Structure 1
Amino acid sequence: MSDKPTSPIRQTDDEARALAASILTGARIAALGLWDADAARPHVTRIAFVHDPDLGYFTLVSDLSKHASLMKQSPVASLLIGEAPDKGDPLAFPRLTLAADAAFIPRDARERVAMRALWLERHPKAALYIDFGDFNFVRFTPLGADLNGGFGKAFRLCKTDLP
């Protein structure tokens, strides 16, 4: 009998990749984790979120928010994506923790027009503030992810496994 513990991480396969794609494509919100160097502790907040095959992973933030200033200090971010249904054990439902670098999109960037249109399609109430001068899009460039597909279904995904 071996004393070496068995890894709970399964071999990444097409089913895991498809589940990750499903979680990312359907996501409207995420929990954004950042490091607050001044306070020497993590900072987590809820953000609205969009994933699009052409435009990537992104959010819309106000420069007035703490998370905007933290991303400007350090682009290293973590996003927890995946909503549990109203009923059942929330830990039994799939979720994905995405490690990413955050980059602010310049207001004059060509892709901003497409990002704005898609954002309003997915988050129509943002029409109230999307054009305010302090609101900017932030793109997340994935570095990798941990996928929890439910009980006993853990996977480590590299950036090439993500849509």
Structure 2
Amino acid sequence: MTNTDPYRPVDDTACQMARNLIENATFGALAVLRPDSAFPSVSRVALATDGQGHPVTLISTLADHTRALTTNPACALLIGEPGDKGDPLTHPRLTLHAIAQFVVRETEKHAALRARYVSLRPKAKLYADFTDFGFVTFTISDAVLNGGFGKAWCLAPTDIWPDQRTT
């Protein structure tokens, strides 16, 4: 019988590629489930990382994706963009399956995220303190890394952030 599993065994190369994609992402595609529709929706969102290297975004309560996440926090983030040359499908990309959490203002976590986010995305200082904007973090359940044709891996959160392994 032929093995049709498209995923390679997880190795250091895959783990590092996933970390690099997250660390270098300035934006991503956020997929949400719309509460008023049977169809999912995808939006481009700005991204940065928290102090542990996890993705974080700053979004407005006026956005359709924010309303969707409030109703159902299950979502996916696609990060990694094609380069200037070659077939777009040969460039690495990472899909993170996650649960979104809104960060409460006036907390230490919010203050730390704001400081880091603005340091990484200085233009966000223009709107980071608007009352309709808030930070969203993501608890990752798993990830699918596509490193180009014939190079795919399923990753656990501990593959991406090994310092979070429990002993």
Query: Counterparts of 1:120 and 1:53 in 2: how far apart (Å)?
Result: 13
Counterpart code for 1:14 = D
Other structure's SS at 1:10 match: coil
Where in structure 1 do 4 or more consecutive aligned residues deviate above 6 Å?
Answer: none
Pairwise mapping of residues 1-163 of structure 1 onto structure 2 (< 5 A)?
A: 2=1, 4-54=2-52, 56-163=54-161
Query: Counterparts of 1:37 and 1:112 in 2: how far apart (Å)?
Result: 27
TM-score (norm 2): 0.91
Task: Give the strand-richer structure, 1 or 2.
Answer: 1
Query: Counterparts of 2:67 and 2:6 in 1: how far apart (Å)?
Result: 36
CA contact (8 A) 1:25 1:52 kept: no
Deviations 1:2-43 (A, max 9, x none): 3x4522111111111011111111111010000113111000
CA contact (8 A) 1:58 1:139 kept: yes
Counterpart code for 1:121 = S
Number of residue pairs aligned between Structure 1 and Structure 2:
161
Where structure 2 has 5 or more consecutive residues not aligned to the other structure, the ranges are: 162-167
Against the structure 1 CA distance between its residues 105 and 55, is the aligned structure 2 distance closer, same or farther, given a 3 Å change threshold? farther
Deviates more, 1:26-35 or 1:121-130: 121-130
CA contact (8 A) 1:30 1:46 kept: yes
How many Å apart are 1:53 and its aligned residue?
4.2
Identical aligned pairs, as a percentage? 44
TM-score (norm 1): 0.94
Query: Counterparts of 2:21 and 2:51 in 1: how far apart (Å)?
Result: 13
How many Å apart are 1:52 and its aligned residue?
3.3
Other structure's SS at 1:108 match: coil
CA contact (8 A) 2:22 2:54 kept: no
Query: Counterparts of 1:72 and 1:123 in 2: how far apart (Å)?
Result: 25
Query: Counterparts of 1:114 and 1:54 in 2: how far apart (Å)?
Result: 12
Where structure 1 has 5 or more consecutive residues not aligned to the other structure, the ranges are: none
Against the structure 1 CA distance between its residues 113 and 53, is the aligned structure 2 distance closer, same or farther, given a 3 Å change threshold? closer
